[in-house]
Amino acid sequence: MKGIRQLAEHLDISIGTVSRALNGKPDVNEETRKRVLAAAEELGYVANQSGRSLRQGTTNVIGLMIESSKETIEDSDNFFLGLTSGLQSVLARHKLDLIMLPCPTDEDPYEYLKRMVARRVVDAMIISATQRVDKRIDLLSKAKIPFVSLGRSLSSGNSSWIDLDFDGVANSAVDRLVAHGHRRIAIAAPSNEINLGYIFLDGYRRALERHGIAYDPSLVIRVKTSEQGGYQAGHELLQIDNRPTAVILIYELMAIGLYRRLTEAGVIPGHDLAVIGFREEPRAKFLQPALTCFRMSLHDLGVELAETLLATMPAYSHFYPDSERNMIWPLKLIPGESDSFHLMAAE
Amino acid sequence: MKGIRQLAEHLDISIGTVSRALNGKPDVNEETRKRVLAAAEELGYVANQSGRSLRQGTTNVIGLMIESSKETIEDSDNFFLGLTSGLQSVLARHKLDLIMLPCPTDEDPYEYLKRMVARRVVDAMIISATQRVDKRIDLLSKAKIPFVSLGRSLSSGNSSWIDLDFDGVANSAVDRLVAHGHRRIAIAAPSNEINLGYIFLDGYRRALERHGIAYDPSLVIRVKTSEQGGYQAGHELLQIDNRPTAVILIYELMAIGLYRRLTEAGVIPGHDLAVIGFREEPRAKFLQPALTCFRMSLHDLGVELAETLLATMPAYSHFYPDSERNMIWPLKLIPGESDSFHLMAAE
């Protein structure tokens, strides 16, 4: 790669003049500027931003750490790609670029992040898949790397986060099912330590209590957050004595596997069992009967995440004076046919 | 963030000793090393790899540039996430990390890459969605950034690439359809300048010639590479005079939209129209009748891409002496029911 020195030698002009021409300074005549830019293009000169960044202490790059499991890849989970357009629309205002940091499936996310922090490839981070106790938050705080987490955590402290309204979703789902006469309402929850599972389950439990329904741990089905997990949830649900009449799913693509397992057993969703899914997903749109689920805009969430992050960065915070440090992101109920039947009073 | 100077002051030890302790040099006694490491952890000391990289001229990061369109996100296209595990399994051998560089939908990929090269966030690049003429290849060659492209191009020259066997797929598909009695075989090709469209179409044309079938441009349907594009292809196909009896699709998710449009019109895939899809895709597995398509391993392709790339990098090439610069990646036919009927001889 050609550096500024080679460029100056090639043109037989001083390094200072070449530098001023490249940086658009006014004290270079137009003809010289054109010659310099043409030669830079021809010789493949690339500004050494690594050097520039080191002087400024910045990379102008924002990282989005993603954890893709074998399951989410096979499910073609589009969640993170869906966030990029919103994130980039905000970052572009400030000439910042977004890169995605995919944590390998077999690596500990904390160790991975530690290495990426040491590599200093980014000025700031967005982390996701927040665990109930998440050491990554302490790591970033100590390293003084601005960050926002998609998902709150017991470790959050004063740090910035945006989280989906799992509590609101659990409440709406339980209210709706109870209004349709259901009392035995199962829930398919993630089998890992991801914090959203705890929040969702708490919301479900409190919503049941509000309706005077005792919490029954045997109705909590722990499965992987995948289509396959949904299939497994269907399988376990069919084996519960005094079978529940309704089920709430925490992950969007579970519905596809659940429908498949129920259909195999001759149990018709929306007729023999009420089903409420989580986030509306393009693929789940083709399910018959139509799935009752919750809508949100990934683009808008990306915008909000970027603005919340920039508000924590000294160089940009003045652009976002009104940004909230923490936000619960609402989802809107989209009624379908999967939970539209009413249980008889005799039940 | 704490630097080495602050760490040395805190411990009241010389910077040199702290540095030797952190870098695992043997001339530091065990107790001092432990004190230094404990303090580094406690104070959030992070090695300045940006400075280290600048001295070494490396970042130890490999970039995978991806171009996600609105369509591919809505389709939840899992292609690139599917490559990461294979790529990372090879890069991890050399303590290299993978980052993904998502080019914004509204930005020119060349301008985007130029900026990312200038930012020097990566040592080497994998580019994809190769265009027929692709200026990015010249850019990377001139900038002396090692790279491999997923997809050949007229611009490829001596550079490294791996491409899927579009020609082989077109040949197998045409052979199979001709053997079943078809002569009017349509093809749904991408409407953009992506090079794979040209290669696929050339293969299709030559395969027809081989069977003595005249190429008919009215049977080439140009649509977006998306589920929606497949729906559009179905729509256009139904309007062709002397309707074709078979269609070959270039993009995997087109089949879902195509089936939908055909079903709306009462045309049954695999009965009234033979359909051959491209890459096998988890979602397309649920199509009825089962889609004839082609199988490949994204993990294995990721492994091969990483090894081909490392073979172009001076620091790693000796590990991969037998690596080919260019490779056509095979796909295996998976027969389904979507093209299994035979046309009557009377046709």
| Residue A53 pLDDT > 70 | no
The pTM of the full predicted model, rounded to 2 decimals, is 0.82
Question: How far is the alpha carbon of B97 from chain A, nearest alpha carbon, in Å?
Answer: 8
- pLDDT score recorded for residue B64: 96
Tens-place pLDDT, residues B65-75: 998 776 666 66
Residues of chain B contacting A104 with CB distance shorter than 8 Å: 84-85, 88-89, 92
Residue B61: list chain A partners with CB under 8 A.
119, 121
- Contact A84/B at CB under 8 A: yes
Query: How many domains does the structure of chain B reveal?
Result: 3
Record the tokens describing residue B295, joined without a space.
């199988």
One domain for residues B106 and B198:
no
- Residues A113, A202 within the same domain: no
Q: Could you tell me the pLDDT band of residue B105, with boundaries at 50, 70 and 90?
A: confident
Say whether pLDDT at A320 is over 50.
yes
User: Chain B residues with CB inside 8 Å of A120's CB?
Assistant: 46, 48-50, 53
- Does residue A234 belong to any structural domain of this protein? yes
Asked if residue B17 and residue B106 are part of one domain, the reply reads no
Question: Residue A33 has what pLDDT?
Answer: 80
What is the C-alpha separation between B271 and B256, in angstroms, rounded?
Answer: 17
Express as a percent the part of chain A with pLDDT over 70.
90
Residue B276 shares a structural domain with residue B303:
no
pLDDT confidence tier of residue B95, bands split at 50, 70 and 90: very high
DSSP conformational letter for B290: P
Give the tens place of pLDDT for each residue, A205-240.
999 999 999 999 999 999 998 889 999 999 999 999
Residues 6+ positions from B234 with CB-CB distance below 8 Å: B257, B258, B259, B260, B261, B262, B265
Do A230 and A257 sit in the same domain of this protein? yes
B346 pLDDT exceeds 70?
Answer: no
B341 found inside a domain: no
Mean pLDDT of A37-44: 72
Cβ–Cβ < 8 Å for B196, B167: no
Are B31 and A47 in contact by the 8 Å Cβ rule? The answer is no
pLDDT of residue B67: 84
Q: Under a CB-based contact definition with an 8 Å cutoff, are residues B36 and B14 in contact?
A: no
A 95-114 residues inside an 8 A Cβ radius of B: 97-102, 104-105
Judged against a pLDDT cut of 80, whether residue B282 lies above it is answered with no
What is the reported pLDDT for A1?
Answer: 44
Tell me the one-letter amino acid at A261: R
Q: Are B63 and B126 in contact (CB under 8 A)?
A: yes
pLDDT in tens, B34-43: 888 777 766 6
Q: Is residue B343 part of a domain?
A: no
Per residue in B292-343, pLDDT tens? Answer: 999 999 999 999 999 999 999 999 999 999 999 999 999 999 999 999 988 8
Scan residues 271-300 of A and list those with Cβ closer than 8 Å to B.
281-283
Could you tell me what percent of chain A has a pLDDT over 90?
67
Chain A hits for B121, CB-CB cut-off 8 Å, are 59, 61, 99, 121
Q: Is B81 exposed, middle or buried (0-12, 13-18, 19+ CB in 10 A)?
A: buried
Q: Is residue B178 part of a domain?
A: yes
A285 and A217, same structural domain? yes
DSSP 3-state of B209: helix
Which residue range is the domain that position B36 belongs to?
Answer: 4-47
Residue B335 lies in a domain: no
Q: Ranked by mean pLDDT, which of A1-15, A46-60, A158-172 comes out on top? A: A158-172
Strand, coil or helix: A238: helix
Task: Answer yes or no: do B156 and B171 share one domain.
Answer: no
Residues B130 and B185 grouped into a single domain: no
Average pLDDT, chain A: 89
Per-residue pLDDT band at B44 (split at 50, 70, 90): low
What pLDDT is stored for residue A281 in this prediction? 84
> Which of A121, A136, A147, A297 to mutate to test binding with chain B, by most B CBs within 10 Å of its CB?
A121
Q: What is the Cα–Cα distance from B309 to B59, expressed in whole angstroms?
A: 16
Residues B224 and B281 in one domain: yes
> Using CA atoms, how far apart are residues B152 and B164, in angstroms rounded to an integer?
9
Q: What is the pLDDT of residues A121-142, one digit of tens each?
A: 899 999 998 999 999 999 999 9
Average pLDDT, stretch B269-288? Answer: 89
B228: nearest Cα among B201, B197, B192, B253: B253
Strand partners, B127: B149
Query: What per-residue confidence (pLDDT) applies to B47?
Result: 56
Q: What is the CATH number of the domain that holds B280?
A: 3.40.50.2300
Tell me, what DSSP letter sits at residue B172? H
Task: Give percent of chain B above pLDDT 90.
Answer: 67
**Both structure tokens of A346:** 């005799």
Q: Is the CB of A121 inside 8 Å of chain B's CB atoms?
A: yes
B314: exposed, middle or buried (C-beta count within 10 Å: 0-12, 13-18, 19+)?
A: exposed
pLDDT for position A57: 63
Q: Which long-range contacts (CB under 8 A, 24 or more apart) does A46-49 make?
A: A46/A1, A46/A2, A46/B117, A46/B118, A46/B120, A46/B143, A47/A22, A47/B118, A48/A3, A48/A4, A48/B120, A49/B118, A49/B119, A49/B120
Query: Does the distance separating the beta carbons of A97 and B115 come in below 8 Å?
Result: yes
Q: Are B256 and B283 in contact (CB under 8 A)?
A: yes
Rg for chain B (alpha carbons), in Å? Answer: 26
Closest CA to A301 of A334, A282, A277, A279: A279
Q: Are residues B290 and B174 in the same domain?
A: yes
Residue with tokens 């309007």: B239
* A337 assigned to some structural domain: no
Q: Write the CATH number for B35.
A: 1.10.260.40
| Residue of chain B nearest A43, judged by CA positions | B142
Q: Same structural domain for residues B174 and B159?
A: no
What is residue B100's three-state secondary structure? strand
Same domain, A74 and A153: yes
Q: B180 in a domain, yes or no? A: yes
A47 pLDDT band, cuts 50/70/90, is low
Predicted confidence band at B23 (pLDDT cuts at 50, 70, 90)?
Answer: low
Task: Tell me if chain B has a CB within 8 Å of the CB of A143.
Answer: yes
User: Which residues does A342 contact at the CB level (< 8 Å), separation at least 6?
Assistant: A180, A181
B288: which chain A residues are within 8 Å (Cβ-Cβ)? none
Q: Give the count of Cβ contacts less than 8 A between chain A and B.
A: 149
Q: Lowest-pLDDT range, B9-23, B105-119, B158-172, B249-263? A: B9-23
Q: Is the pLDDT of residue A55 over 50?
A: no
* Domain-located, residue B128: yes
Closest chain B C-alpha to A176 CA, distance in angstroms: 29
Sort out which chain B residues have CB atoms less than 8 A from A59's CB and list them.
Answer: 50, 119, 121
In this predicted structure, what is the pLDDT of residue A343?
A: 86
